[in-house]
Amino acid sequence: MAKKKYHFNPDTLSYEPIENSFWFKVRRFLLHAFTGIATGTVFFFILASTVQSPEERELYAEKNKMEAQYKVLQRQFNEVQDVLTDLEERDNNLYRVVLQAEPIPFTVRKAIASNTDYYNQLYDMTNSEIVVTTTKMLNTLKKQIYIQSRSYDELVSLTKNREKMLQCLPAIQPVLNKDLKRMASGYGWRIDPVYHTRRFHEGMDFVAPTGTDIYATGDGTIVNAGWEQGYGNCIVINHGFGYETLYGHLSAIKVRPGQSVKRGDIIGLVGSTGKSTAPHLHYEVHYKGQVMNPQNYYFLDLSPEEYDRMVQMSNNFGEVLD
């Protein structure tokens, strides 16, 4: 039996029993019920967030296992990437340099055609972030391996044509040493003998008597044999592999356009036609449209001593004859 509660009545100066109404009891019950429910809810969420169910523990273990496998896979991807990067560097800086092939640009090697719709589909899958990242890494490697494979195919083709390319390179002097009087001017900035202005001399001048034989410096095809403004009688040979040579101021032309020539064939005679102040041969080497220094292409017919002497003569800022 519940104990009665009393309160002091100051009017009667006595203790009187407290009579609780029905609604008071209802409110007290509801208060206790709400407090109990709230407390239970808080404890439920605390337990739910800290204590895992068997299914959750299994899923968490599977997730940890998958993340560990992904880290191993990512490390393997990085190792393959390092090896492939080394192959690309050797390809560009060694093999292609030796075979005189243009390096493959970085943007071509790394460019990946993005398929946004495909990747968006992957995001809807389980562990989508891992799937998308792995797929992107795999596609990048596949693209790089494909480009590297095509590069090696090209290098193999160039290697097979290496012997032919060596025959076509402009690798000798166009005038024999015994016929030379002197080297008038080499490649570089010079003073024009006619206009007395500073200009770039794009070739080398070989001083020799009129009528001295001029030789093709490499195998090729005659693409021009006739009069050219400034050069006078002029011959241009296309050697293939990006190389062309020009022979200017000739007194006579011994070849015709379209004719094939071999290294050492006589193609013309030294003269002083065009803008020239004395008999000589003006000789130029072009590679892929760029004018090159001819002194770098005499390695087949000059000894080291002769080559050194030729370089010194061509760099002494001698007289320009054209």
Does residue 165 fall inside a structural domain? Answer: no
Give the 3-state secondary structure of residue 200: strand
**Exposure letters 85-122 (e unless 16+ CB within 10 A, then b):** eebbeebbeebbeebebebbeeeebeeeeeeeeeeeeb
What per-residue confidence (pLDDT) applies to 277? 81
From the list 249, 256, 254, 263, the residue with the least C-alpha distance to 300 is 263
Let me know whether 217 and 271 are in one domain: yes
Let me know whether 261 and 234 are in one domain: yes
What per-residue confidence (pLDDT) applies to 251? 94
Does residue 127 fall inside a structural domain? Answer: yes
Residue 206 to residue 321: CA distance in whole angstroms: 10
What per-residue confidence (pLDDT) applies to 10? 76
Let me know whether 269 and 175 are in one domain: yes
Does residue 109 fall inside a structural domain? Answer: yes
**pLDDT single digits (tens) 238-279:** 999 889 999 999 999 999 999 999 999 999 999 999 888 888
Distances (CA, A) of 182 to 27, 179, 216, 249, 318: 123, 9, 20, 17, 10
What's the pTM value of the predicted model, to 2 decimals?
A: 0.54
The answer, yes or no, to whether residue 317 has pLDDT greater than 60, is no
- H helix runs in the chain, sequence order: 22-50, 54-90, 96-98, 106-110, 116-123, 128-160, 162-168, 304-314
Does residue 209 fall inside a structural domain? Answer: yes
Does residue 176 fall inside a structural domain? Answer: yes
- Among residues 96, 131, 160, the one where a domain terminates is 160
Q: Domain count for the chain, please give it.
A: 3
Let me know whether 45 and 60 are in one domain: no
Full domain range(s) for residue 275: 170-314
